[in-house]
Amino acid sequence: SKAKVFITRRLPVELKQLQEVATVEVWTERQPPPYDVLLEKVKTIDGLLCLLTDKIDSPLIAGNLKVISQVAVGYDNIDVAAASKRKIPVGHTPGVLTDATADFAWALLMAAARRVMEADKFTRAGLWQTWEPDLLLGPNITGATLGIVGFGRIGQAVARRAKGFDMRILYTSRYQWEPELEKSLGVEFAPFEQLLQESDFVTVHTPGTDDTYHLFSDRQFNLMKPEAILINTARGTVVDPDALYRALASGKIAAAAVDVTEPEPIPQDSPLLTLDNLIITPHIGSASRQTRSKMAKMAIANLIAGLKGHQLPYCVNPEIYTDD
């Protein structure tokens, strides 16, 4: 009999190819399926196609499940260890969203520096009455120091774009890259604290893991320059939201722009929403039409490979194929 798959949301992609190998059920609501629904579904399905809004914990990694395919590069919502234990491959979508996400980090950086959101509000409020020499001033971007925290594909793509702005580019990551790569990107390795002290812009490109949980808290904001601007397009958990509020409200740093929050979505009573020097967008870093379509296609390809018992083209836990 045909394999069964459950897709936790409508995707911008043709399902025909998948339907040839599996019976497909799509959750069509705007909100993610409740946990109970997922718990019921996994009893009967062979493949699960999920999003970062679905918490896939070990009770869900059960039944006949043969593959979990996530439509995202990050997979902090999935208990990968539990999947590996049961030899279930987990797929993700690296590479295809690198440029879109780097572009969006730049959109936020420039909007925060040059106060685009405040300026738009100002104009709509009818406050534009003349040209003013000191209206809505911000820092220079060209020639400033950019600190990139996390130097994987996306961090490096952000660095490539920074070259056009004649910036000094610092990066920190778990290990230092080869000198050739540093040279070609025009970047210097800096320990995290030095990067915080010297950067005018700090942009986060780490995954959300136990190691990066609240990497930014009071201590780190205290090290940053008062004119510094923080950009986060990675994971909300990397920044302690209470510390971010304190830093922005007290002027420890000048501004921030975040596409990710902890929790998501941001609660409507969060004090962060009262700040003028913070831009918050709803986790849309990868949201170009082309990129979202590529992500969906890649996730489907991973899913089909898993259903056929083939190695996933983009697998998070490939060790399951070799370990005994």
**Contact positions vs ligand GLV (CB under 6 A):** 52, 72-74, 94, 97-98, 152-155, 205, 286
By beta-carbon proximity to ligand GLV, the closer residue of 8 and 98 is 98
Query: Is position 235 annotated as part of the catalytic site?
Result: yes
Cβ 310 to ligand GLV, closest distance in Å? 23
Cis before 263? omega within 30: yes
Q: Are 139 and 114 in contact (CB under 8 A)?
A: no
Q: Which of 101, 126, 130 is nearest to 290 (CA)?
A: 101
**9, 115, 283, 292: the active-site residue:** 283
- Nearby residues of 137 by Cβ (< 8 Å), 6 or more positions away: none
Which CB sits closer to ligand GLV, 71 or 254? Answer: 71
206: burial class by Cβ within 10 Å (0-12, 13-18, 19+)? Answer: buried
Q: How far is the CB of 209 from ligand GLV (least distance, A)?
A: 12
Q: How far is the CB of 120 from ligand GLV (least distance, A)?
A: 26
Give the three-state DSSP class for 52: coil
Least Å distance, CB 46 to ligand GLV, is: 24
Residue nearest to ligand GLV (CB): 152
Residue 140 and residue 143: Cα distance in Å, rounded?
7
Which of 9, 115, 205, 235 does the annotation list as catalytic?
235
CA distance linking residue 165 with residue 183, whole number of Å: 17
Considering the complex, what minimum distance in angstroms separates the CB of residue 94 from ligand GLV?
A: 5
Nearer to ligand GLV among residue 247 and residue 291 (C-beta): 291
Q: Is 283 a catalytic residue?
A: yes
- For residues 98 and 78, is the Cβ–Cβ distance under 8 A? no
Contact 38, 20 (CB under 8 A): no
Q: Which residues pair with 229 in a beta bridge?
A: 201, 255
314 contacts 93 by C-beta, under 8 angstroms: yes
Distance (Å, whole) CA 62 – CA 66: 9
Q: DSSP letter string over 129-171?
A: -S--TTTT-----TT-EEEEE--SHHHHHHHHHHGGGT-EEEE
For ligand GLV, give the closer residue by CB, 52 or 278.
Answer: 52
Virtual torsion, Cα 153, 281, 223, 168, nearest 10 deg: 50
Please say whether the beta carbons of 37 and 276 come within 8 A: no
- Considering beta carbons, is residue 97 or 253 the nearer one to ligand GLV? 97
Q: Which is nearer to ligand GLV, 237 or 253 (CB)?
A: 237
Q: How far is the CB of 295 from ligand GLV (least distance, A)?
A: 7
Q: How far is the CB of 150 from ligand GLV (least distance, A)?
A: 7
Token digits of residue 217: 């808290």
Closer residue to ligand GLV, CB minimum distance, 85 or 163: 163
Q: Is 264 a catalytic residue?
A: yes
Residue in 25, 118, 182, 264 annotated catalytic = 264
What residues are labeled active site? 235, 264, 283
